[in-house]
Chains A and B, each alone.
Chain A
Amino acid sequence: MHINWSGLGEVFAIALAAGVGLVVLFSLGIAALGRRNNEGEATAVNTAVAGVCFLACVALVGYGIYLVVAK
């Protein structure tokens, strides 16, 4: 019986990085958005952080769509 352990491991490692990475980036973006309403926090900085996070998410999703289409 042949089990493709390296393929399985590869899927697990990449999916873990991409899936968790996407959720972490998005969560950080939402956290930054939420902080804009707090008093005493720099609104511009938080807006910028949120923007960078969401842009990174878009890039990651775009790469995913590219993989689907280019396959």
Chain B
Amino acid sequence: MDVSLIVIVVIVTALAFDFTNGFHDTANAMATSIATGALKPKIAVTISAVLNLGGAFLSIEVAKTISGGIVDESRISPAVIFGGLVGAIIWNLATWLLGLPSSSSHALFGGLIGATWVASGSGAVHFSTVVEKVLIPAVASPIIAGVVATIATYLAYKLTTRTNPDTRTAGFRAGQVVSASLVSLAHGTNDAQKTMGIITLTLITAGSLAPGSQPPLWVILAAGTAIALGTYLGGWRIIRTMGKGITDIETPQGFSAEASAAAVILTSSHVGFALSTTHVCSGGVIGSGIGKRLAEVRWGTAGRMAIAWLLTLPAAAIVGALAGEIASQGTLGTVVVAIVAVAIAGGIYAASRRNPINAENVNEVPALATTGS
């Protein structure tokens, strides 16, 4: 088996992306449970990590395309995939530093679009598919999940108004453990697939695997482990924004938000209308704020999230285009991109240390939400 440098680089970068995907999206499943105290922070990320790892093995359907038809895959080279992954990783790290939940899938799509555009021209990018698979779901996801969560939250309070508050809080708290786990499992079956698909297809184009091959066991193991490790590390900055920044969450709201998000994600993947997990979960939290009478939704925070969503695709595309172009120049170019990417990632990590957020202080209300907006 002859594997060239670029293939190894793509595999390592894909696993790095999977890792950022993991800690970026822990918030989706676990933020509200951590905020209400239904689960202790460390226990929540552990459950989520185990379910993400399990989800990687559960789903039978293999991701057969890298991009889902967004770019012309016959015109993608490993250098383009590498560029796209670098764009996605850097955007994921930047939004994590700011504590903003943005879609890891959109970052990946953006990176691939940018890298493909520069390498093969705009003709290799299917813009109508971009609209159908990225833009419309981006608008529809939070609205659908928001409406469902608003109605669910309203009814959850309405039906239990005469119930003893302690019974109510404890009951919904127990329910949250299940609803959060369901979101985690749905997430694991979706997201680990993406990285597996990228690695498998790269190995196929490099001739190491026969066309149409299933992912080898080591690919499933590596991808599942990378996303689980990322999840276990916990994206505490984003968890705080989702759990405490948007609205003050009580257990009936947390349960309603998670149940709504799980229902929307499962339905959308069953019907085949792909929605973004991140956008669905954020919409669910906002809806749970609207549905409770007199609850305050911090629209300033919600607005910053929306801006990050708008920027995700173009920002990752620009980084992806640059990285892909330089990496296409040959081995030296690839090495340069890899070194610069590692340096930027290190810089972002260093910046995060100045204001660390971890399992201990994740439930403190962020300063921006109280003084800003």
Interface presence of A30 (CB below 8 A): yes
Question: Can you list, as one digit per residue, whether each of A1-41 has a CB less than 8 Å from chain B (1) or not (0)?
Answer: 11110011011101110111011101111110111010000
B140, A1: Cβ atoms closer than 8 Å: no
Chain B CB within 8 A of A55 CB: no
Which of chain B's residues have a CB closer than 8 A to the CB of A31?
Answer: 159-160, 162-163
In the complex with contacts A22-B259, A23-B260, A69-B159 CB distance below 8 A: no
Chain B residues near A26 (CB-CB < 8 A): 156, 171-172, 175, 255, 259
Contacts of B132 in A (CB 8 A): 1-4
Best-surrounded residue of B147, B264, B267, B271 (most CB of chain A within 10 A): B267
Q: How far is the CB of B191 from chain A (nearest CB, A)?
A: 13
Q: Which residues of chain A are within 8 angstroms of B189 by Cβ–Cβ distance?
A: 68-69, 71
Q: Please, which residues of chain B bring their CB within 8 A of the CB of A1?
A: 128, 131-132
25 pairs, A vs B, C-beta closer than 8 Å: A1-B128, A1-B132, A3-B132, A3-B136, A11-B264, A11-B268, A15-B144, A15-B148, A16-B147, A16-B148, A18-B263, A19-B152, A19-B262, A20-B152, A22-B263, A24-B152, A26-B175, A28-B159, A31-B159, A34-B167, A64-B262, A68-B58, A68-B59, A68-B266, A71-B189
Judge if A67 is at the interface, Cβ distance under 8 Å: yes
B155 near A27 with CB under 8 A, answer yes
> In the complex, which residue of chain A has the Cβ closest to the Cβ of B291?
A23
Of the candidate stretches B35-43, B178-186, B223-231, B298-306, the one touching chain A is B178-186
Known contacts A2-B132, A68-B186; 18 further A-B pairs (Cβ under 8 A): A8-B140, A10-B267, A14-B263, A15-B264, A19-B260, A19-B263, A20-B148, A22-B259, A23-B152, A23-B256, A23-B260, A24-B156, A30-B167, A31-B159, A34-B164, A61-B182, A68-B55, A71-B270
B275 near A: Cβ within 8 Å?
A: yes
Find chain B residues with CB under 8 A from A48 CB: none
On chain A, the residues within 8 Å of B185 by CB distance are 65, 68
Q: Assuming A16-B148, A19-B259, A30-B168, is B163 touching A11 (CB within 8 A)?
A: no
- The answer to the question of B285 belonging to the interface, with a C-beta cut-off of 8 Å to chain A, is no
* 8 closest cross-chain pairs (CB), A and B: A19-B263, A34-B163, A30-B171, A27-B159, A23-B152, A19-B260, A7-B273, A18-B263
Cα–Cα distance between A10 and B268 once the two chains are bound (Å):
9
CA distance A52 to B256 in the complex (A): 20
Chain A min CB distance to B298 (Å): 23
Interface residues of B in 180-211 (CB under 8 A from A): 182, 185-186, 189
Of residues 14 through 65 on chain B, the ones whose CB sits less than 8 Å from some CB of chain A are 55, 58-61
Measured CA separation A71–B164 after assembly (Å): 41
Contact A37 B164 (CB under 8 A): yes
B331 interfacial contact with A, CB 8 Å: no
